[in-house]
Structure 1
Amino acid sequence: MTTVSQLRKAALALPETEEGTHFGMVAFSVRGKGFASVTKDGQVQLQLPADEVDAALSAHPGGERLVRMGTLIGFRVPLADIGGKELNALVRAAWIHRAPRRLAAALTAAGTAGPADESDLPAGIGKPATRALRQAGLLTLAQVAAHGERDLLALHGVGPKAIRVLREALAEQGMSLR
């Protein structure tokens, strides 16, 4: 069972995501284009392409197609019926669907970057934190230093241990978090 706070964390971990409201619902957008929202009765609505909707429906039979004016625009499912990892994947897919192409391509490239890529992130932060930082486009300690602890902790996968290790690595290089 997931919560609105988990949805918020997953959505805000993606680049240029803003939280607001849409018809009284908590909603998330990227450059003014909505990609996820939560109804007052706890249903998450995700803007997805038709093939992603079909896959989501087969994985979550309790969900339904989201149709507006006769056009399929996405998928709706009760938050209580979806697991955290599944929600993260669906939120990411919705973000990629609605984000400008170049921004989506940059996120996809950062998410597929391998360990041999140029990155000075310390291995001690762990794989989940490394993945979260890469997905946010933070590949170097200098890029991490431009962010505050609160921003980093908002990324799904970054916890207190990762922050401690990052602070130590930044201090060794004469840098600190914002």
Structure 2
Amino acid sequence: MTTESQLRKAALALPEVEEGTHFGMTAFTVRGKGFASVTKDGRVQLHLPDAEAEAAESAHPSGERLVRRGTPIGFRVPLADIDGKDLNALVRAAWFCRAPKKLAAELAAADAGNKPENSDLPDAIGKPATRALLGAGLTTLARVATCTEDELLALHGVGPKAVRILGESLAQQGMSLR
């Protein structure tokens, strides 16, 4: 069983996601394109490609296809009927479906731990921390400096050692965490 706060955490962990409302529902967008929302009765709606929506429907019998004007556009399921791991995977798939191709490619590269050319993140933080930072859109030390220590530690893969190394690297460049 998941909650709206878990949905919020999963969605907002992805790059360039904004939270707002759409027809009175909590909704999440990437560069203005909606990819996930929650109805007032606690159902999560996800924009998914047809094959992924079909797979989600098979895995979650209480869910249903989301159809707009006769065209399938995704999947809807009660939040209470889906576990956190499945929800995270579906939210991520919906984000990839709606995100601009370049931004999606950047996240895919980040998932693989490949730093972009302009990244000055220190190698000493380790692969898991690098993947977590890149996945959150924190590709440079300047972007890392906009975060607090607690925000960094909340990222899966970033631990105290990585935060210490990042703090030292920021200090060498005359910056610090927020």
Scaled by the length of structure 1, the TM-score of the pair is 0.83
Counterpart Cα distance in 2 of 1:114 and 1:103: 14
Partner of 1:145: 145
Partner of 1:165: 161
Counterpart Cα distance in 2 of 1:168 and 1:77: 41
The letter of the residue matching 2:5 is: S
Q: Secondary structure at the match of 2:8?
A: helix
Q: Note closer, same or farther for the CA distance 1:82–1:24 as it changes in structure 2 (3 Å cut).
A: same
Tell me the number of residue pairs that the alignment of Structure 1 and Structure 2 aligns: 170
Scaled by the length of structure 2, the TM-score of the pair is 0.83
Partner of 1:32: 32
TM-fit CA distance, 1:9: 0.5
Counterpart Cα distance in 1 of 2:37 and 2:133: 24
Partner of 1:108: 108
TM-fit CA distance, 1:87: 0.7
Counterpart Cα distance in 1 of 2:134 and 2:22: 30
Matched, 1:86 2:114: no
TM-fit CA distance, 1:140: 5.7
Counterpart Cα distance in 2 of 1:33 and 1:150: 29
The letter of the residue matching 1:172 is: E
Partner of 2:122: 120
Deviations 1:103-155 (A, max 9, x none): 1111111112269xx852524xx94x554323223356554234234543564
Q: Note closer, same or farther for the CA distance 1:105–1:58 as it changes in structure 2 (3 Å cut).
A: same
Counterpart Cα distance in 2 of 1:31 and 1:171: 30
- Runs (5+) with no aligned partner, structure 2: none
Counterpart Cα distance in 1 of 2:157 and 2:57: 30
Q: Secondary structure at the match of 1:137?
A: coil
Counterpart Cα distance in 2 of 1:53 and 1:171: 42
Counterpart Cα distance in 2 of 1:169 and 1:113: 18
Counterpart Cα distance in 1 of 2:103 and 2:78: 29
C-alpha RMSD of the superposition: 2.5
Counterpart Cα distance in 2 of 1:85 and 1:130: 21
Identity %: 66
Counterpart Cα distance in 2 of 1:153 and 1:169: 13
Q: Secondary structure at the match of 1:66?
A: strand
Partner of 2:22: 22
Matched, 1:62 2:58: no
Partner of 1:136: 136
